[in-house]
Amino acid sequence: MTTEKRTKKDLKEILADMSDPEKVLASPDIISADDLLEVSYELGEYPYPEKIGNKVYEHEKQLLQAELLKVQVWVKEEQKRIAGFFEGRDAAGPHAAEAAVAHVDRVEHAHAGLDRRGSVGRPCP
């Protein structure tokens, strides 16, 4: 975006424009996620305006896990397939998400060949 100092008012207007579905759809320009995050970060709203407490975090996590279980039941009942793409690395290591999915798969299924997993090499600089 830009390196010049922007006021909070300017940043809020930019963020409002970037978040307005009608303006976004009407614009031929593509809004990059990096630009959106940059504005949110400058406003002090990224990653969150304030840290949430453990009780709230655990409650939200429980709700999300319930939604994942609903998807799992639907996939089994409808015999659907899911493609999951995990990007990036976290503190757990480069293949942590893949290992977690593999663990759930081993618990859920007796057949090791029901899924296919692969890793893509890291991007070139």
Residue 42's nearest CA partner among 26, 18, 22, 20 is: 18
Q: Which ranges of 43-87 would DSSP assign to H, the alpha helix?
A: 54-78
Say yes or no to pLDDT of 95 above 70: no
pTM score, whole prediction? 0.42
Count other C-beta atoms under 10 Å from residue 14's C-beta: 19
pLDDT tens profile 28-37: 777 777 787 7
User: How many angstroms separate the CA atoms of 36 and 81, rounded?
Assistant: 32
Q: What is the biggest distance separating any 2 CA atoms in the chain, rounded to whole angstroms?
A: 58
Q: What percent of the chain has pLDDT over 90?
A: 2
pLDDT bin (cut points 50, 70, 90) of residue 110 is very low
Burial call 39-50: b when 16+ CB within 10 Å, e when fewer: bbebeeeeeeee
Helix (H) / strand (E) element for 43: namely: none
**Residue 119, token pair as written in the block:** 């890793």
